Amino acid sequence: MDLKKPAKITAKEIGRIVGCCQQAVSSVLSGRGNSKVSREKRERILEAARSFNYRPNPSALRLAGRPTRTIGIIPESSVFCAEILAKLSTSLRVLGYQSIVFPLIMNHEDEMVMDSMFHYGVDGIISLNNKSGNFEHDRLKIPGVLISYDNYDIDFDWRHGFGESVRHLIGHGHSRIGFILDAWSYSLTKMREGYEAEMIGNGLSCPEDWTVELLWNADFGRKLAGLIETEKVTAFLCSSDIIAGRLMVYLKQHGWRVPDDVAVIGFYGTSFDEVMTTSLTSIVYPIGEICRNAAEMIVAKVENKELARTAKPLDIRSRLHLGHSCGCPEREMKIVWWEGVPVSVEKMHCYRKPPPEGWLD
């Protein structure tokens, strides 16, 4: 047997090494069990495939009408991008599928990227980006799962999460609660719906001018001061942890104490709150559960050859990660650093040497 390894071996090259035709190699490697291939030659073909780390060409499998057991992922730029991709890939691997990532440079490229995925030979698509609105299940040539955006298959339960944070603030005695956001979008609309529904459901007012949009708002400081000093707003929900953190710094610099004068709750559940002098209470984005469900959903669609949108889209609920910014007791920090810096408080980091139990709570 020729032991010189090609950079990437093909079925034709395995046939040359073993001394048989490409069709015989393809028959053995596909598991079709061609009876014309002798047992001895079959074993030599499989030995060569293992020795040279043979991987079938996904496009060739697609042309032959056979599954590649590969799922394409279209990510979205976010603070959790790396953790989401890692969790999706791991969840798919547990189910016997590999993944390949097709990043977008510009949002309008998603249709081109989806065509590239199809020609590459993926069996299905998981997309976290539909800002252009081009992800339409019925138009896809292969099964697809959309996380968030219109036509979603699985999403975070925005209304419940922000409603739960209002209930928590009410439990601390707050009745005049404002909402601070970066810019209107699909998710921000749902955030505000959850906030307003819970306020109204508890018989509390939430005038429109208690919502402060920050994008290009040079009048933000005067607006915030008016809400605190004139409207007597004593708590704010924020559309992200970074906005909540910067708000807390701003409040401190202008003479307001958190949480004594103004309580603050953020969103996402990022671990950066641990470096703040006042720990942040945050609505946790449930990365683990969303990724596990998305992986199971796309595999079921692929195996059942379903192209349509999921009949009953999933809305995944979350929890509050409690800090001192809402009025809860300050968390005790038991360790400065152990191994790596997880971005999310969901504790998905795989430690080479686990820390003592309770140290990272």
**Domain ranges (residues) in the chain:** 11-55, 70-155+288-315, 158-286
Q: What is the mean pLDDT of the chain?
A: 85
Helix segments in 64-146, DSSP class H: 81-94, 110-120
Q: What is the pLDDT of residues 44-66, one digit of tens each?
A: 887 787 777 776 666 565 555 67
Confidence band (pLDDT; 50, 70, 90) for 290?
very high
Check pLDDT > 70 for residue 128: yes
- Residue 67 has a pLDDT of 77
Greater pLDDT, 83 or 7: 83
Q: Which residues contact 12 (CB under 8 A, 6 or more apart)?
A: 22, 25
Indicate if 158-286 has the same CATH topology as 70-155+288-315.
yes
Share of the chain above pLDDT 90, in %: 48
pTM (2 d.p.): 0.79
Greater pLDDT, 328 or 273: 328
Confidence band (pLDDT; 50, 70, 90) for 2?
very low
- Find out if CATH 3.60.20.30 is the number for domain 70-155+288-315: no
CA 309 centroid distance within chain: 19
* Helix/strand/coil for 272: helix
CATH number attached to the domain at 158-286 = 3.40.50.2300
* CA gyration radius, the chain: 26
The conformation of residue 279, written as its DSSP 8-state character, comes to P
